[in-house]
């Protein structure tokens, strides 16, 4: 079985694949830990689903938080007994990278692109709702072209509440009207409908530059909250990043137990 880990600025997503099938997944907070803490954490996760350590025969990591990487890879090696492959633009991804500086592309964006092409073909636009909202554009080829990055929903909300004394914190629920009749409804309308409009505007500009309309797929922990209000997103694939990690691991023949 394969352990896959996607480390974001806010959340770390962990999954276990049995062949092509994702059988377990967890969303955790991204926090600094020692290698021993990482190992114990992972052992406890596996115990919660009655999965033996020796069942894990490979591991792969995509991270946009470099200070966390060493402890993760060391903990996996020490406690699970497998080497952990780290995603970078230097690996065989099965797609070309048309970005100006390939090494600057976030590992999560590359992983999304690999899985997106495998599942939906190209050209394609993938919108990932995480700490940031990233739009990733893959052209025919397939070629990863780049995209756009905007503040994520929670990032925007934290900035709003942190700089305004009287605004209350709210849940991510859509009000019945974009014209909020209370302060809470007004904030919810601005965050949810506003971000749906932001994505739609960027997608339409991307389509115009590409000269064609493409499928648009959403992923990430908050994808469902926004996608239902979007006019361009046609599907939500919450575990797309984990699938991309599996595909990259298989292409690169990482060392097994």
* Alpha-carbon span 90 to 29, nearest angstrom: 28
Cα atoms found within 13 Å of the Cα of residue 121, Cβ hemisphere only: 2
Choose, from 69, 77, 92, 108, the residue flagged as catalytic.
Answer: 108
Q: Residue 156: how many CA atoms within 13 Å on its side-chain side? A: 18
HSE (side-chain half, CA atoms, 13 Å) at 74: 10
Per-residue DSSP letter, 222: T
CA–CA gap between residue 233 and residue 116 (Å, rounded): 14
* Residue 108 annotated among the catalytic residues of the structure: yes
In this structure, are residues 17 and 5 in contact, taking their beta carbons and an 8 Å threshold? Answer: no
Please choose, from the candidates 256, 252, 239, 251, the residue with its C-alpha nearest in 3D space to the C-alpha of residue 6: 239
Q: Could you tell me where the DSSP H helices lie in 89-152?
A: 107-120
Length of the chain: 257
Q: What positions carry a catalytic annotation?
A: 108
């Amino acid at each position: 079985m394969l352990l896959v880990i996607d480390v974001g600025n806010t959340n770390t997503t962990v999954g276990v694949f049995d062949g092509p099938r994702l059988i377990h997944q967890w969303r955790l907070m991204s926090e600094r830990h020692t290698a021993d803490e990482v190992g114990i954490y992972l052992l406890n996760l596996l115990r919660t689903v009655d999965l033996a350590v020796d069942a894990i025969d490979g591991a792969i990591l995509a991270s946009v938080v470099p200070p966390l990487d060493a402890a993760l890879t060391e903990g996996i090696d020490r406690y699970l007994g497998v080497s952990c492959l780290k995603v970078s633009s230097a690996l065989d991804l099965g797609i070309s990278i048309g970005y100006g500086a390939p090494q600057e592309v976030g590992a999560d964006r590359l992983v999304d692109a690999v899985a997106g092409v495998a599942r939906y073909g190209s050209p394609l636009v993938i919108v990932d709702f995480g700490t940031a909202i990233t739009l990733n554009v893959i052209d025919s080829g397939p070629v990863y072209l780049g995209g756009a990055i905007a503040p994520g929903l929670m990032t925007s909300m934290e900035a709003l509440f942190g700089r305004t004394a009287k605004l209350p914190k709210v849940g991510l629920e859509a009000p019945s009207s974009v014209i909020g009749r209370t302060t809470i409804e007004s904030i919810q309308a601005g965050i949810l409908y506003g971000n749906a409009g932001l994505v739609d505007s960027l997608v339409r500009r991307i389509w115009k530059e590409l000269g064609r309309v493409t499928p648009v797929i959403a992923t990430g922990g908050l994808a469902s909250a926004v996608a239902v209000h979007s006019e361009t997103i046609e599907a939500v694939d919450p575990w797309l990043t984990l699938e991309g990690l599996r595909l990259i691991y298989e292409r690169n023949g990482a060392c097994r137990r």
